[in-house]
Amino acid sequence: MSLTNDFAIGFFTFFGIISIVAALFITRQKNVFYAAIGLVFVGISVAVMIALLNTSYSFYSVFHILLYVGSTVVFLAVSLVMFRGLDVKEIKVPWASLVALIVGVLIFLDLVVSFYSITPAAAISSFSLQTLANEILQNYWFPAIIIIIALLTTMIEAITLARRD
């Protein structure tokens, strides 16, 4: 295994640990503003891990940081400033960790069964923005229209909320 591969595995493990720690921080933090900041670290770590999976996925990785981290999470964090009393009352649900563990094990077993007999692909075709655009416009035009309408209604909703009367 070359040095570059070792670096990639090391980086992947590092950002995987960061994402898990940030996710635990979100679930344990009493102040939800800081929890929203933790979501930035989860988003960036996931984007880096996706980019490390394959260079063809780098385009989406940039998209994830720009749109998800840059707008969704920042919107959440900034909007939370409007509220007073952001501290969360701690509650203890004894069966929550058990249910989370069972669901995690079930998903893991499902993945093991699904991918056990599959031989990993040798290589992935290189990414082309033109092919992606053709793919969306020819095969996925209907979901694209739905997304456009949904974003438009979101904009109308934001304007309605911003008006005080």
Binding to another protein, residues 71-110 (CB under 8 A): 71-73, 75-76, 79-80, 82-83, 85-86, 88-89, 91-93, 95-97, 99-101, 103-104, 107-108
Q: Is 159 in the site for another protein (CB under 8 A)?
A: no
CA distance 111 to 119: 14
Alpha helix ranges (H) inside the chain: 3-28, 32-53, 58-63, 74-80, 96-116, 129-139, 141-162
- Would the CA dihedral through 109, 114, 118, 123 be positive or negative? negative
Least CB distance to another protein at residue 114 (A) = 8
| CA atoms of 61 and 69, how far apart (whole Å) | 11
Size of the site for another protein (CB under 8 A): 86
Tell me the closest approach of the beta carbon of residue 165 to another protein, in angstroms. 14
Place of tokens 């069966």: 95
Choice from 116, 159, 161, 165 touching another protein (CB under 8 A) = 161
| Torsion of Cα atoms, 32 then 33 then 39 then 44, to 10° | -170
Query: In the window 113-132, what residues touch another protein (CB under 8 A)?
Result: 115, 118, 120-127, 131-132
One residue of 81, 140, 141, 145 binding another protein per CB under 8 A: 140
Q: Per-residue contact track with another protein, 40 to 69, x per CB under 8 A?
A: --xx--x--xx-xxx-xx-xx--xx--xx-
